[in-house]
Amino acid sequence: MTKQPEAIYLKDYQVPAFLIDHTELRFELEASRTLVKARLTMRCNPDSHQKTRVLELQGDKALRLCRVSVNDQVLNEQDYKRHDQGLEISHVPDEFILETVVEIDPDQNTALEGLYRSDGIYCTQCEAEGFRRITFYLDRPDVMSIFSTTIEADKTAYPVMLSNGNPVAQGEADDGRHWITWEDPHPKPAYLFALVAGDLKRVEDQYTTSGGRDVALHIYAANKDLNKLDYAMQSLKNAMRWDEEVYGREYDLDIFMIVAVDFFNMGAMENKGLNVFNTSCVLASPDTTTDLGFQRVEGVVAHEYFHNWSGNRVTCRDWFQLSLKEGFTVFRDSEFSADLNSPTVKRVEDVTVLRTAQFAEDAGPMAHPILPASFIEIANFYTMTIYEKGAEVVRMIHTLLGADAFRQGSDLYFSRHDGQAVTTEDFVKAMEDASGRDLTQFRNWYHQAGTPVLAVSDEFDAASQTYRLTVAQSCPATPGQAIKAAYHIPVAIGLLDSEGEDLVLPNGKTTQVLELHDSEQTFEFTGITEKPVPSLLRGFSAPVKLHYPYTRDNLTFLMSHDSDGFNRWEAAQKLAVNILQALIEDFQHGRELVLDSQLGDAFKVVLANVDLDKAMVAKVLSLPSEAYISELSDVIDVDAIHTVRQFVRQQLALQLEAEFVASYQACTLEDIYSPDAASIARRSLRNVCLSYLMETGKQDFLELALKQFHEANNMTDSQAALYIVVHSGYQKAGEVILDQFYQRWSDEPLVVNQWLSVQASNPQAGVLTHVEALMNHEAFNMRNPNKVRSLIASFCAQNPVNFHAIDGSGYRFLADQIIVLNKLNPQIASRLVTPLTRWKRYSADRQGLMRKELQRITDSGDLSRDVFEVVSKSLA
Ligand code: B3K
Ligand code: ZN
């Protein structure tokens, strides 16, 4: 039996015993037999206590070692040890040149980590530990080196050959081959290395930094996609300007390149000077891309660009520090998107994702602090917690310090640590040093997992004109952490009088940040003449669950009066949740479902208010998702949640039919598509109205949806119509337009992905059989992560009623796919396990079925570290 993978611990961190000053690489690219020659200028690390002179290099077991030499002396097999994880060379001198030649097979690399070739394009993915699949190396982020990379390949098949930095030489070679050398002057860890070679075309632009550096901007894609790169280019330039203005950060090379590839495990990768992107995060055109897609392109292009400072110039000491770069960079990109579009809409979107997916993760078997103490496979820790909760933690520092002190803190962090590999502690320390604030207790956010719960109560004493808010905090146990210390939590609040006006608070403003330190704390407000309605956690100032006994009347009052846009939406959500939960209980007790008119009345007011941002109206009208209601449930009753939510949607549709029709018509369409915030808002409100109207079951509205499908001049509207018709159960009409859609777009893989996902997420009965059939469709390819996500992940994560079918068929289907993918692409396989990890949240019958499938995955044998970690932790 193979050895079980073991965990590694943050507490065991040691500085590297050796350093690599220069890394010279030479790639001779050839199908199934690529040679990688590495020449490393190495020396002992003066800061290391380990003086054994044993050099341990990481290297995947698939590397075929052809030659190794130290200072030109070729080593014999007795001079080194080759084992599964690398190479051990004893007795190396203080300073030396290590040369290796290895052979790898990029065509067989279906894990898409290291160097792989897909669709005729060679490309790399090295974060976190992919470089060791390319050559033997000190593959850890605190070893930073200057890279020079030569690539040689066939000239016709690979006219474009790229790597980090600047091209410094190129020439012709024998047999129709050519070569090029790239040099990157900035020392970097191996995870930021990149190589791309293929028949790619590019669009070009130019950017002059505020300091006067002219930067060439190149975005590469397949020839047919060249017309879909303008939006990414504009987003890149916007991001470059924004980072100068908001963070004082300029770009530091003469060239910045982005390459779009179709086979990619995640969204994109911030390799120095050469970002590699999943096509889904860079290609955008009105015909083929939805508004959501445009926003994603803008956000991801900015995110990867921002990493140039938060990640590349200042990098992570070790992978436990991942949130140092990811949390901070997500915070940066979300502020960027907020600035360029609508801050309230962006906040609502971010919080929605956080509260459904991250809160669920925090309550599950994989819960971990944003600074984890251990892991088995780092690839499993690119999580909602590291990214989104990490961003919330940075946001709280921003809230506590204020924008100016935060900027001084980030300036200090960047200047103090430029060119270094550092820790989250270094980040917090810089914030403390620049602001003079004590963040000692705040650090608990880095070390403790779980979502804190705030229970808020209040009292009003008319005689002394005093209003008291009492906040009690607690945090549930998570794996390995039974007891939690109190957090330092910024709670932004406002108080509304009976007219809906904000009271002036002790800070002289209408919003004040209360700082919670104790497990229970009371905040007193004097000079208050009537009991106010509190507006709590404005802007969602902390990633917590907050409970306050709002009445439904309080919530409708806040919906129309709260001056905080986020909390107006939040009041609507709370009202809807309150109503849905009561109906779920009725359903479970076999009582007749009756929706009182309160929610509809509140929605009517919102729909009638022409001054409101239409995007916010659309958000308010959208009921909390089944996933969010699930997250709020003690025991998730999939069928009750689905039935009740559908019932409420239908009742609202009947009650507000006229208003939905009026709003649909009022949201007029432009002749020319534009992805600006106002146009996106109109389209999203229109499509929310249409989706309600379909719930009435009236033929007229089916016709309206079909008309929209056929006449739409953009993908947002045609895809929305497709989704609405298919999901509303008009099977015949749905089949016809699904077919037309596929015929029209079969040459556009990203559109076909949406086509797969609309079908996979369809809640109508019997969809699993259809999904299974689609697995054999020409459009599906198990080796392409985008296809797997669109079909398998959409079914398992976006289709709760079918995935959780009580006969266990959904679970069985998923386990079958995981067992196959475990061999092909462990990272993708491991991500797919997520829905099964949540088994404890369901009723006993489903628990048993889900556990059985987790067990079956374990028993299938030969699990990758990725899948092993998630499955074993889930069963523990
Ligand atoms: N840093 C990369 C993620 C790499 C994931 C490796 N499994 C993209 C990003 O967060 O910007
Ligand atoms: Zn990132």
Whether the pLDDT of residue 101 is over 70: the answer is yes
Give yes or no for residue 842 having a pLDDT over 90. Answer: yes
Residue 127 Cβ contacting ligand 1 at under 6 Å: yes
Q: What band does 670 get if pLDDT is binned at 50, 70 and 90?
A: confident
Distance 191 CA to ligand 1 centre (A): 10
Q: Whose CA is nearest to atom 6 of ligand 1?
A: 127
Q: Does 844 fall in a domain? A: no
Measured in whole angstroms, the distance separating CA 222 from the mean position of its chain's CA atoms is: 25
Residue whose token pair is 């880095």:
446
- Mean per-residue pLDDT over the chain, rounded: 98
Quick one: pLDDT at residue 503? 98
| Active-site residue, selected from the candidate residues 113, 270, 298, 304 | 304
Dihedral class, residue 624 (left if φ above 0, else alpha if ψ from -120 to 50, else beta): beta
Residues 157 and 22 in one domain: yes
Q: Cα–Cα distances in Å, from 803 out to 58, 454, 723, 755, 814? A: 40, 33, 18, 19, 9
pLDDT score at 691? 98
pLDDT at 3 exceeding the cut of 90: no
Please say if the pLDDT value at position 27 is more than 90.
yes
Looking at ligand 1, which residue's alpha carbon is closest to its atom 1? 269
Q: Is 306 in the pocket of ligand 1 (CB under 6 A)?
A: no
Query: In this structure, which ligand is nearest to the CA of 141?
Result: 1
For residue 50, what pLDDT band results from cuts at 50, 70 and 90? Answer: confident
304 lines ligand 1 (CB under 6 A): yes
Is 588 part of any domain? Answer: yes
* 57 belongs to a structural domain: yes
For ligand 1, atom 3, the nearest C-alpha belongs to 269
Atom 9 of ligand 1, residue of closest alpha carbon: 269
Question: How high is the pLDDT of residue 432?
Answer: 98
Helices (H), 633-676: 638-655, 657-666
Closest to 660 in 3D by CA, of 707, 723, 704? 704
**Starting from the edge strand earliest in sequence, which strands make up the sheet with 545-547, in order?**
520-526, 466-474, 453-461, 545-547
Nearest Cα residue to 460 out of 534, 537, 366: 534
- Ligand 1: which of 188, 270, 275 to mutate, most ligand atoms within 8 Å of CB? 270
539: left (phi over 0), alpha (psi -120 to 50) or beta: left
User: Does residue 408 sit in the same domain as residue 526?
Assistant: no
Tell me which ligand sits closest to the C-alpha of residue 127: 1
Q: Are 356 and 417 members of one domain?
A: yes
- Domain final residue, candidates 517, 546, 575: 546
Straight-line distance from the first to the last Cα atom of the chain, in angstroms, rounded to the nearest whole number: 21
Q: Which atom of ligand 1 is nearest to the CA of 270?
A: 11
Find out whether 280 and 753 touch, Cβ atoms under 8 Å.
yes
Q: Is 516 in the pocket of ligand 1 (CB under 6 A)?
A: no
H or E element in which residue 760 lies: helix 749-760
379 lines ligand 1 (CB under 6 A): yes
Kindly state the percentage of the chain with pLDDT values over 90.
Answer: 98
> Can you tell me the distance from the alpha carbon of 339 to that of 343, in angstroms, rounded to the nearest whole number?
6
Contacts of 239 (CB under 8 A, 6+ apart): 301, 302, 305, 306, 336
328 lies in the same domain as 426 = yes
Instruction: Report, as an integer, the average pLDDT of 281-305.
Output: 98
| Coarse DSSP helix, strand, coil percentages of the chain, rounded to the nearest 5 percent | 45, 20, 30
Alpha carbons 736 and 746: distance in angstroms, whole number? 15
- Say if residue 161 is in the same domain as residue 15: yes
- Percent residues over pLDDT 70 in the chain: 100
Query: Separation of 710 CA from ligand 1 center, angstroms?
Result: 38
Output the six-digit token pair for 305: 């660009």
pLDDT for residue 660: 98
Q: Which of 187, 194, 86 is nearest to 135 (CA)?
A: 86
Distance 819 CA to ligand 2 centre (A): 29
> Can you tell me the distance from the alpha carbon of 501 to that of 532, in angstroms, rounded to the nearest whole number?
10
pLDDT tens-digit readout, 560-580: 999 999 999 999 999 999 999
| Of the residues 447, 477, 506, the one at which a domain ends | 447
Query: How far apart (Å, rounded) are the C-alpha atoms in residues 143 and 20?
Result: 7
Which atom of ligand 1 lies nearest, measured to the CA of 268? 8
Residue 362 has pLDDT above 80, yes or no: yes
Backbone angles phi, psi at 280, to 5 degrees: -65, -15
Closest ligand, as measured to the CA of 270: 1
Q: Which token pair is 626?
A: 């089944």
> Residue whose CA is closest, atom 7 of ligand 1?
379
Provide the token pair at 571.
């009041």
Whether the pTM exceeds 0.95: the reply is yes
How many angstroms is it from 300 CA to the middle of ligand 2? 9
Cα–Cα distance list, 696 to 366, 626, 647, 667 (Å) = 42, 20, 11, 20
Distance of alpha carbon 300 from alpha carbon 721, whole angstroms: 27
* 304 carries an active-site annotation: yes
Gap between the Cα atoms of 462 and 460, Å rounded: 6
Task: Say if CB 112 and CB 785 are below 8 A apart.
Answer: yes
Q: Are residues 34 and 155 in the same domain?
A: yes
CATH number, position 509: 2.60.40.1840
Question: The tokens of 313 are what?
Answer: 């110039």
CA distances from 264 to 104, 259, 536 (A): 19, 11, 41
Q: Which of 515, 546, 577 is the last residue of a domain?
A: 546
Q: How far is the CA of 303 from the centre of ligand 2 (A)?
A: 6
Residue 704 CA to residue 660 CA, distance in Å, equals: 13
Mean pLDDT, to the nearest integer, of 244-261?
A: 98
Within 10 A of 490 (CB to CB), how many other CB atoms are there?
18
Is residue 790 in a domain? no
Q: Is 129 helix (H, G, I), strand (E, B) or coil?
A: coil
Ligand 1 in reach of 270 Cβ (< 6 A): yes
> Residue 215 is part of which domain span?
201-278
Contact 210, 244 (CB under 8 A): yes
36 plus 105 within the same structural domain: yes
How many Å lie between the centroid of ligand 2 and the Cα of residue 307? 7
**Span 623-637, mean pLDDT?**
98
Contact between 356 and 631 (Cβ < 8 Å): yes
Query: What is the per-residue pLDDT for 2?
Result: 59
Cβ atoms within 10 Å of 436's Cβ, excluding its own = 8
Sheet containing 214-221: which strands, arranged edge to edge? 201-208, 214-221, 255-261, 274-278, 268-269
Contact status, residue 177 vs residue 166, Cβ threshold 8 Å: no
Is residue 435 domain-shared with residue 560, that is, in the same domain? no
Q: What is the CA angle 28-43-151, rounded to 5?
A: 15
Q: Name the token pair of 362.
A: 């925090």
Quote the CA–CA distance of 40 and 174 in Å, as a whole number: 27
- DSSP, collapsed to helix, strand or coil, labels residue 57 as strand
Can you give the CATH number for the domain in which 237 is found? 3.30.2010.30
**Ligand 1 atom closest to the CA of 378, numbered from 1:** 7
Q: Counting Cβ atoms within 10 Å, is residue 508 exposed (0-12), middle (13-18) or buried (19+)?
A: exposed
Same domain, residue pair 390 and 495:
no
| For range 407-415, the mean pLDDT | 99
- Does ligand 1 come within 6 angstroms of the Cβ of 252? no
One-letter amino acid at 378 equals I
- Ligand 1 site, residue 269, Cβ cutoff 6 A: yes
Ligand 1 nearest-atom number relative to CA 303: 11
Q: What is the mean pLDDT of residues 152-164?
A: 98
CB 187 within 8 A of CB 144: yes
pLDDT of residue 807: 98
**Nearest atom in ligand 1 to 300's CA:** 11
854 within a domain of the structure (yes/no): no
- E strand spans, 543-630: 545-547
Q: 836: exposed, middle or buried (C-beta count within 10 Å: 0-12, 13-18, 19+)?
A: buried
583 within a domain of the structure (yes/no): yes
Among 159, 214, 165, CA closest to 194: 165
Query: Could you tell me the CATH number of the domain that includes residue 371?
Result: 1.10.390.10
Helix spans in 378-421 (H): 384, 390-401, 403-417
| Cβ contact 79:89 at 8 Å | yes
Among 306, 334, 382, the mutation site with the greatest number of ligand 1 atoms within 8 A of its Cβ is 382
DSSP codes of every residue in 62-81: T-EEEEEEETTEEPPGGGEE
If one residue of 112, 124, 125, 127 were mutated to test the ligand 1 pocket, choosing by the most ligand atoms within 8 A of its CB, it would be 127
Please indicate, yes or no, if residue 409 is contained in any of the structural domains: yes
Q: Specify whether 110 is located in the same domain as 177.
A: yes
Asked whether 266 lines ligand 1 (CB < 6 A), one says yes
Phi-psi region of 861 (alpha: psi -120 to 50; beta: other; left: phi over 0): left
**Cβ(303) to ligand 1 under 6 A?**
yes
Could you tell me which residues are beta bridge partners of residue 104? 34
**Do both 525 and 588 map to the same domain?**
no
- Residue 785 binned pLDDT confidence (cut-offs 50, 70, 90): very high
Whether residue 144 lies inside any domain: the answer is yes
Buried/exposed 336-368: b ≥16 CB within 10 Å, e otherwise = bbbebbbbbbbbbbbbbebbbbbbbbbbbbbbb
696-755: per-residue pLDDT in tens? 999 999 999 999 999 999 999 999 999 999 999 999 999 999 999 999 999 999 999 999
- Ligand 1 atom closest to 127 (CA): 6
Distance CA 651, CA 639 (A): 18
Do residues 441 and 356 share a domain? yes
Give the pair of three-digit tokens for residue 79.
């001079």
**DSSP β-bridge partners for residue 534:** 495
For the segment 652-675, the average pLDDT, to the nearest whole number, is 95
Both tokens of 163, joined, read: 């790597």
Q: How many domains does the chain have?
A: 5
